[in-house]
């Protein structure tokens, strides 16, 4: 089975075989259409409503009854029986379930052991040691596959379609940006990753973005959250959001999970408390929320957390980095005994990994760290000096492969000239052993914010000259931006 697709027969092969199509026994619905996204030993798969679905095939002849249910026939009618149901007798060959051919001589004897569950069952506790992105497979986000399929349906250029098809093979983060989305997407994707893990025998890593703090994105308007900066919503954040995530993570203990924690939040605490009233109002909730979630998630051995540190043109200046060291050290200590693996940079941003054309000077407002590589090199030293013991990084390369048209490096909304960047990869830079991974955290094609000046969530940056227009609300699909990102991909797709 292809390693990057989280579909498996091993999770539920002995379930009742009377479903409308093979996928129902595996915990996935039947497709309403016939578009094939992926084919494996189970059958043909499509994607609808952000989830995998099975495409029903014409039933096979009775002599090979199991193929109509998505499983091969056993090589012999005398194969050992591991399970029996209304369809027939099941055996196991080559690590997969198979149907024992029916003969006129009647049944064959054997045991009735084997799995009877309809979903994969978590196994023994897994413990992350070192870089969580290393020596694992990356889970593919089915919701993004669905979005890309929708984008392809709007294209006519065959070369562009080929590039878009490749996008479906790469992993990106799953954003838990509301309580409702968390309830819909967290466990379903943990289950999908577990199924893939049981099928392939390799550990499968899923990356989630925890993103629902009260007063979220206090210095912006385009991505404000559902919870307000007050005590009541803080309680909801803890009990309806963090506690629920914790429960699911504890259940799925046999697989590695990475959490990208609250993008932009602590960076705002470094730079915007004194100038932005909404950030001052959110301060206590940001700190309290981080302390709470670090205590909850940071003690789970199969979970690694990365706190967000903005990007080079936010915290890159010397005084900002010095202040950041104090803020992040305090936050991490407040979550003891929970542990934090490290930090993530450039989330949803466009700053190139390396930009040799920029140096400390008037053009960069005397920023000594005008690209993400120099930023992380400096932050590693400063965070170590601040007493932070675990300083590792995940850099978002989802949209920084091509230098954008922005006139100031601080521009952040739907930038023209966008290009997909380096592919998700563990330990990507020789000599930077503290860089755990390049990873696609913000999915290319999802808008940063609306350009509609009459909209409640309109942010001025989305109306700037270098922001692509017209643009939909944050998180909605932005076809033109996606297509430009494909064309400008570096390395090319």
314 is annotated as contributing to ligand binding: yes
> Active site includes 319?
no
412 is annotated as contributing to ligand binding: yes
User: What burial class does residue 274 get, using C-beta atoms within 10 Å of its C-beta: 0-12 exposed, 13-18 middle, 19+ buried?
Assistant: exposed
Structure tokens at 28: 């996935």
440 is annotated as contributing to ligand binding: no
Angle between helices 277-297 and 243-251 (to 10 degrees): 30
Q: Which of 212, 217, 233, 264 is catalytic?
A: 264
> Active site includes 217?
no
CA–CA separation, 218 vs 277, rounded Å? Answer: 8
49 is annotated as contributing to ligand binding: no
Q: What angle do CA 92, 97, 103 make, to 5 degrees?
A: 75
CA–CA separation, 143 vs 154, rounded Å? Answer: 17
CA–CA separation, 232 vs 313, rounded Å? Answer: 34
446 is annotated as contributing to ligand binding: yes
Rg value, the chain, Cα: 25
Q: Which phi and psi (to 5°) does residue 329 adopt? A: -65, -40
DSSP for residue 193: H
CA–CA separation, 270 vs 314, rounded Å? Answer: 10
408 is annotated as contributing to ligand binding: no
Alpha helices in 201-262 (DSSP H): 231-236, 243-251
175 is annotated as contributing to ligand binding: yes
Q: Are 33 and 2 in contact (CB under 8 A)?
A: no
DSSP for residue 440: B
Nearest to 174 by CA among 244, 260, 116, 69: 260
Number of Cβ within 10 Å of residue 479's Cβ equals 13
290 is annotated as contributing to ligand binding: no
Q: Which of 146, 233, 371, 448 is catalytic?
A: 448
Nearest to 306 by CA among 250, 251, 361, 261: 261
Structure tokens at 122: 């978590």
CA–CA separation, 130 vs 19, rounded Å? Answer: 43
- The residues annotated as belonging to the active site are 264, 448
Residue ranges for the binding site?
Answer: 175, 177, 311, 314, 349, 412, 442, 446
Residue ranges for the binding site for substrate?
Answer: 175, 177, 311, 314, 349, 412, 442, 446
């Amino acid at each position: 089975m292809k390693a990057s697709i989280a579909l498996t027969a091993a999770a539920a092969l002995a379930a009742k075989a009377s479903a409308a199509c093979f996928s129902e026994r595996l915990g996935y619905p039947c497709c309403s259409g016939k578009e094939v996204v992926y084919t494996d030993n189970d059958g043909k798969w499509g994607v609808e409503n952000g989830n995998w679905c099975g495409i029903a095939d014409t039933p096979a002849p009775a002599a090979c009854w199991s193929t109509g249910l998505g499983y091969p026939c056993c090589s012999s009618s005398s194969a050992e029986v591991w399970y029996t149901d209304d369809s027939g007798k099941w055996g196991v060959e080559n690590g997969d379930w198979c149907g024992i051919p029916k003969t006129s001589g009647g049944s064959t004897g054997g045991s009735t052991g084997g799995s009877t569950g309809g979903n994969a069952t978590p196994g023994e506790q897994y413990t992350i040691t070192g870089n969580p992105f290393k020596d694992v497979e990356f889970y593919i986000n089915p919701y993004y596959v669905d979005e890309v399929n929708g984008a392809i349906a709007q294209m006519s250029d065959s070369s562009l379609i080929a590039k878009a098809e490749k996008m479906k093979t790469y992993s990106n983060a799953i954003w838990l940006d509301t309580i409702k989305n968390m309830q819909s997407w967290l466990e379903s994707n943990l289950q999908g990753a577990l199924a893939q893990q049981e099928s392939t025998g390799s550990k499968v890593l899923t990356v989630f973005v925890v993103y629902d703090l009260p007063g979220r994105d206090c210095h912006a308007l385009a991505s404000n959250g559902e919870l307000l900066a007050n005590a009541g919503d803080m309680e909801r954040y803890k009990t309806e959001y963090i506690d629920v995530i914790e429960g699911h993570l504890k259940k799925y203990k046999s697989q590695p999970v990475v959490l990208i924690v609250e993008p932009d939040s602590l960076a705002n605490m470094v730079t915007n408390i004194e100038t932005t009233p909404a950030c001052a109002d959110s301060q206590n909730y940001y700190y309290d929320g981080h302390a709470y979630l670090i205590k909850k998630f940071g003690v789970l051995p199969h979970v690694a957390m990365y706190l967000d540190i903005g990007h080079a043109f936010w915290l890159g200046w010397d005084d900002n980095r010095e202040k950041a060291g104090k803020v992040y050290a305090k936050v991490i200590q407040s979550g003891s005994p929970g542990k934090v693996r490290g930090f993530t940079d450039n989330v949803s941003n466009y700053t190139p990994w390396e930009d040799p054309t920029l140096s400390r000077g008037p053009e960069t407002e005397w920023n000594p760290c005008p690209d993400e590589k120099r930023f992380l090199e400096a932050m590693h030293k400063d965070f170590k000096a601040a007493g932070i013991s675990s300083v590792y990084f995940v850099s978002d390369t989802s949209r920084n492969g091509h230098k954008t048209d922005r006139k100031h490096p601080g521009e952040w909304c739907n930038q023209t000239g966008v290009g997909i960047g380096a592919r998700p990869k563990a330990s990507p830079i020789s000599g930077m052993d503290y860089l755990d991974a390049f990873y696609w955290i913000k999915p290319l094609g999802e808008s940063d914010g609306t350009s509609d000046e009459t909209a409640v969530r309109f942010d001025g940056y989305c109306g700037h000259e270098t922001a692509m227009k017209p643009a939909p609300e944050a998180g909605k699909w932005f076809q033109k931006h996606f297509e430009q990102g494909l064309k400008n991909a570096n390395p090319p797709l």
